[in-house]
Amino acid sequence: MGPVRLMKVFITRRIPAEGRAALARASDCEVEQWDSDEPIPYKDLERGLTGAHGLLCLLSDCVDKKLLDTAGANLKVISTLSVGVDHLALDEIKKRCLIHSGIRVGYTPDVLTDATAELAVSLLLTTCRRLPEAIEEVKNGGWTSWKPLWLCGYGLKESTVGIIGLGRIGQAIARRLKPFGVQRFLYTGRQPKPKEAAEFQAEFVTTSQLAAESDFIIVSCSLTPATKGLCNSAFFQQMKKTAVFVNISRGEVVNQDDLYQALTSSQIAAAGLDVTTPEPLPTNHPLLTLKNCVILPHIGSATYGTRNTMSLLAANNLLAGLRGEPMPSEFKL
């Protein structure tokens, strides 16, 4: 028997234990990992990917045409530790499917839905009840007495909530917000989803109507050419002055300069962002100077359990793809 030819797998970062262990057990793979919590420099990524059969990457790794060219014809699977796939040059990947035998893409939907929805609700409440400002006042001596008009915010009871993208995560957010006494749910998207919307009696509306009628707006759509820059000055101008805007999707759905303008001119009440452009947001960014803007460092899925499960799913996607088996979560190109 000749020597077994191992498939080369490259992992772009340290990943949680379960995924790492699954790959370590794969006797048909030779696994190389960028053994750091910090991003891999582009040159090292190019080197690691050269001749690789499988790539396990993160949403912060931009897998572009140049990188795909570097990888070469061996590359069979890209498995991303994320539900979003906007960092992958999907058109280029599709083209290669026509030329070579094909590149399959794995991703991690479903397993992060609950954690991300929890974070969205946390961010919404943190923003609309002004928690960071309140915490700061306790620390800096601003808390001098209980004051009837001090640090008031907006409550969810009898409100209208607008959800941009009633997908898995959008629905999970609505499900969690309903018991707060929300009166009406509105949503936008590519097309109406009557079956899913029925649970919340959610109404499919235009983006303008959603902007104009919502007290709280949550962006939970994926980033596509159709959603890029969707929340711009025209959008913010249509919003109520008392409305709160939350984005847990991708920074690029929002025009950040327009958001800054809307927040500083009291066009809208407040914003909570778990995602920005760029990431990380530079510490001198103007949005960080605003009391009515709460910014988190893209932690939607960041629970220990969820990240572990994501890593295992990403590893299993990769291995199944390499072995020509059905992937647990394959992204349909």
> What is the contact mask toward ligand GLV in residues 100 to 129, using x (rule: CB under 6 A)?
------------x-----------------
Q: Which of 53, 87, 285, 298 is catalytic?
A: 298
Residues between 249 and 288 with contacts to ligand GLV, criterion CB under 6 A? none
Nearer to ligand GLV, 222 or 237 (CB): 222
The least distance separating ligand GLV from the CB of residue 333, rounded to whole angstroms, comes to 17
Give me the residues paired with residue 33 across strands.
11
CA 244 to chain centre: 19
Nearer to ligand GLV, 219 or 268 (CB): 219
Which helix (H) or strand (E) element contains residue 160? strand 160-164
Residues between 66 and 105 with contacts to ligand GLV, criterion CB under 6 A? 82-84
Number of residues that bind ligand GLV (CB under 6 A): 7
Nearer to ligand GLV, 259 or 310 (CB): 310
Of the candidates 112, 103, 58, the residue with the CA atom closest to the CA atom of residue 85: 58
The least distance separating ligand GLV from the CB of residue 191, rounded to whole angstroms, comes to 22
Is residue 227 part of the contact set for ligand GLV (CB under 6 A)?
no
Residues between 10 and 69 with contacts to ligand GLV, criterion CB under 6 A? 59
All residues at 6 or more sequence positions from 188 whose CB lies less than 8 Å from its CB, including other chains? 162, 163, 164, 165, 204, 205, 206, 207, 210
Q: What is the DSSP letter of 303?
A: -
User: Helix or strand or coil: residue 65?
Assistant: helix
User: Helix or strand or coil: residue 58?
Assistant: coil
Residues between 308 and 327 with contacts to ligand GLV, criterion CB under 6 A? none
Known active-site residue 298: yes
Nearer to ligand GLV, 161 or 314 (CB): 314
Q: Report strand pairing: 330-331 vs 104-106.
A: antiparallel
| DSSP class per residue in 210-228 | HHHH-SEEEE-PPP-TTTT
Give the residues lining the site for ligand GLV (CB under 6 A). 59, 82-84, 112, 300-301
Residues tagged active-site: 298
